Chain A
Amino acid sequence: MTTTFSLEAEVARLIVEALHLETAPEEIDPEAPLFGEGLGLDSIDALEIALAVSKRYGFQLRSDDERNHRIFASLRALAAHIEKNRTG
């Protein structure tokens, strides 16, 4: 669990840096939606996050299935997806 929590913090920093958000990384609620309500990101941000994730963690995000909604459902879900797929 410790790994997940520290990865969550790392991904929060990655999002804030990649998107130049006003929010501090530790202020992102790990359970809140990243898009729409919650952090309020949009499709431009989704591409930026995908690019940052591919550079940092060495794998590509895809939109081939229902999972995409789940992956971006929250910071926690995104971090878990990265944990499972990372190569770097």
Chain B
Amino acid sequence: MLTKRIIPCLDIKDGRTVKGTNFVNLRDAGDPVELGAEYARQGADELVFLDITATVEERKTLLDLVRRVAHTINIPFCVGGGIGSVADVSKLLNAGADKVSINSSAVRNPQLINELALEFGSQCIVVAIDTRYIEQANGYEHIVHTHGGRKPTELRTIAWAKEVEDRGAGEILLTSMDTDGTKAGFALELTAEISENSNIPIIASGGAGSMEHFYDVFTAGKADAGLAASIFHFKEIGIPELKNYLKEKGIPMRI
């Protein structure tokens, strides 16, 4: 049976993990390669690396990092952050990334999704959507945001999710900026609405604070995968205990 996926996300700056981590037994808790390998050992179903740097020099560091991760880890890994062209994606995939995640560049130039899907196949193109529920002329609506969720766009989230699928995205990484960082649970209704109306997997992100939240996002939220960062880094929830908990509750899990 196809399982639901548990995905830890690492923020990368200049080739290092930022935000603290709380792993013992690692020689260097800031080294993304060691952290990634540790998550893979613990049973993570996939890894997401989000590069939060922008300079050209730092991008080179990222490519080197992707190469080292690909040599070490034997589960899928996806790299996102600052990707704006076919050439950017080509470099990352050649370095060993299995998938790339694009966000603002897709909003700026939706045609990029078509180009990337045609060039590399939909299977490696993840479109990240940051969404926030804000007041519009006709009342509150879910609106796509860029710049780390700070800048609203003209795009309605549900329509944009449909559009990225039609343009060839292979998966959607949906982050609710309303729940992100709250540890109060994922945005269940929105996630479910998008997942039920799409034929590609939805990775839910933002708001995980407990094991129940993952149960909720896989049941009421209809998500195909759940992504989180700090609760894994700070070991508030261990991946093995989370997966065991979900399996016992009847969610298909790779154990």
Q: Does B bind A?
A: no
